[in-house]
């Protein structure tokens, strides 16, 4: 996970109007959502979700189940710009709009007042979004990708595995509940790190052979590529780049 910036994805100016038009009885929706969010987070009613608490303020899906009007879906392409069409959590590239979800950072089933809050939206892949589902920790929450520098809270290893810097932290909960240690993802990170290392090993070799200017130039190009916010798994790659480069060439500058 790396820092993303919301300014690339401004809220539509008429968003509030669209929200109010999409919900059959908006004042009643707000009233019920406020009452629901006043319930303790771990109460059975809250855990059952807002659709069970106030089905009459939602709309019926084809299946007959009550649900939120999903007007955010029309803005998925805009929301995807924020994270360069990558999943904000795992940094995996999304190869088609249908292969991704507009992810509610705080789940709408538990926080219905945030169901239409623009700053609660991110682009998520099926793997991360599916694992996160309606989970929300009783204490502390998860790591937000649009605040601080999320990558500093993780340690990415060469084999693609990842751990949190601090056990029990928001980063640790994010790793566990979003299944960011899943083997499929570990493999993808490892393949990308190995690809980078084929070039970086060569740069280190040149440095040790005395071709320092050329080695530095090559290292600069590698770093520019892997730290590009559009690059897949860039947080893992950038962290590993520095670990290898500083250890092998402590006096080198890029
Ligand atoms: Zn993901």
- Residue-wise pLDDT tens digits, 15-41: 999 999 999 999 999 999 999 999 999
What pLDDT, on a 0 to 100 scale, did the predictor assign at position 8? 83
What own/partner pairs with CB < 8 Å and gap ≥ 24 does 199-206 have? 200/241, 200/244, 200/245, 203/245, 204/244, 204/245, 204/248, 204/249
Q: Which residues make up the environment of ion ligand 1, defined by Cβ < 5 Å? A: 87, 89-90, 125, 128
Q: How far is the CA of 129 from the centre of ligand 1 (A)?
A: 7
Cα–Cα distance for residue pair 200/219, rounded to 1 Å: 7
Q: Are residues 202 and 125 in the same domain?
A: no
Q: Are residues 225 and 110 in the same domain?
A: no
Whether 232 shows a pLDDT value over 90: the answer reads: yes
DSSP state letter for 135: -
Q: Are residues 112 and 215 in the same domain?
A: no
**Class of residue 133 by CB neighbours under 10 A (exposed 0-12, middle 13-18, buried 19+):** exposed
Q: Are residues 194 and 117 in the same domain?
A: no
**Tokens at residue 33, please?**
């959502």
Our count of domains for the chain comes to: 2
Q: How far is the CA of 56 from the centre of ligand 1 (A)?
A: 33
Q: Are residues 124 and 10 in the same domain?
A: yes
Q: Are residues 118 and 195 in the same domain?
A: no
Q: Are residues 126 and 194 in the same domain?
A: no
Whether 250 shows a pLDDT value over 90: the answer reads: no
Q: Are residues 119 and 197 in the same domain?
A: no
Q: How far is the CA of 59 from the centre of ligand 1 (A)?
A: 29
Average pLDDT, the chain: 95
Query: Which of the listed residues 132, 150, 175 is the one where a domain comes to its end?
Result: 132
Q: Are residues 197 and 86 in the same domain?
A: no
Q: How far is the CA of 123 from the centre of ligand 1 (A)?
A: 9
- Residue-wise pLDDT tens digits, 144-158: 999 999 999 999 999
Q: Are residues 115 and 209 in the same domain?
A: no
| Residue 98: pLDDT band with limits 50, 70, 90 | confident
Cα–Cα distance for residue pair 50/83, rounded to 1 Å: 29
Q: How far is the CA of 92 from the centre of ligand 1 (A)?
A: 6
Q: How far is the CA of 145 from the centre of ligand 1 (A)?
A: 12
Q: How far is the CA of 109 from the centre of ligand 1 (A)?
A: 20
Q: Would residue 153 count as lying in a domain?
A: no
Q: How far is the CA of 124 from the centre of ligand 1 (A)?
A: 5
Query: Which of the listed residues 112, 132, 152 is the one where a domain comes to its end?
Result: 132
C-alpha distances (whole Å) from 45 to each of 3, 51, 74 are: 35, 10, 30
Q: Would residue 243 count as lying in a domain?
A: yes
What pLDDT, on a 0 to 100 scale, did the predictor assign at position 249? 87
Q: Would residue 155 count as lying in a domain?
A: no
Whether 139 shows a pLDDT value over 90: the answer reads: no
- Residue-wise pLDDT tens digits, 159-212: 999 999 999 999 999 999 999 999 999 999 999 999 999 999 999 999 999 999
| Residue 97: pLDDT band with limits 50, 70, 90 | confident
Q: Are residues 14 and 127 in the same domain?
A: yes
Q: How far is the CA of 58 from the centre of ligand 1 (A)?
A: 28
Whether 253 shows a pLDDT value over 80: the answer reads: no
- Residue-wise pLDDT tens digits, 53-96: 999 999 998 888 999 999 999 999 999 999 999 999 999 999 98
Q: How far is the CA of 82 from the centre of ligand 1 (A)?
A: 14
Q: Would residue 168 count as lying in a domain?
A: no
Q: How far is the CA of 191 from the centre of ligand 1 (A)?
A: 16
Q: Would residue 88 count as lying in a domain?
A: yes
Query: Which of the listed residues 108, 132, 156 is the one where a domain comes to its end?
Result: 132
Tell me the residue range of the domain where 116 lies: 6-132
Q: How far is the CA of 195 from the centre of ligand 1 (A)?
A: 21
Q: How far is the CA of 253 from the centre of ligand 1 (A)?
A: 33
């Amino acid at each position: 996970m790396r820092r993303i910036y919301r300014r690339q994805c401004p809220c539509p100016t008429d968003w509030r109007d669209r929200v109010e038009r999409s919900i059959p009885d908006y004042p009643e929706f707000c009233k019920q959502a406020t009452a629901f969010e006043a319930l303790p987070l771990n109460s059975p009613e809250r855990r059952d979700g807002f659709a069970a608490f106030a089905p009459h303020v939602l709309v019926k899906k084809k299946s007959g189940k009550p649900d939120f009007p999903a007007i955010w879906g029309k803005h998925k392409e805009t929301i995807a710009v924020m994270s360069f069409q990558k999943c904000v959590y795992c940094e995996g590239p999304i190869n088609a709009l249908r292969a991704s979800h507009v992810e509610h950072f705080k789940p709408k089933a538990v926080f219905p007042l945030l169901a239409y809050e623009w700053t609660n939206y991110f682009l998520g892949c099926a793997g991360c979004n599916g694992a996160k589902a309606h989970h929300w920790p009783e204490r502390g929450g998860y790591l937000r990708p649009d605040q601080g520098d999320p990558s500093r809270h993780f340690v990415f290893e060469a084999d693609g595995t990842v751990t949190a810097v601090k056990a029990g932290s928001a980063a640790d909960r994010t790793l566990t509940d979003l299944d960011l240690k899943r083997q499929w993802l570990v493999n993808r990170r490892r393949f990308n790190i190995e690809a980078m290392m084929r070039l970086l090993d060569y740069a280190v070799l040149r440095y040790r052979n005395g071709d320092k200017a050329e080695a530095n130039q090559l290292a600069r190009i590698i770093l520019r590529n892997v730290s590009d916010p559009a690059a897949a798994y860039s947080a893992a790659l950038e962290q590993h780049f520095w670990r290898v480069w500083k250890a092998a060439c402590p006096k080198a500058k890029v």
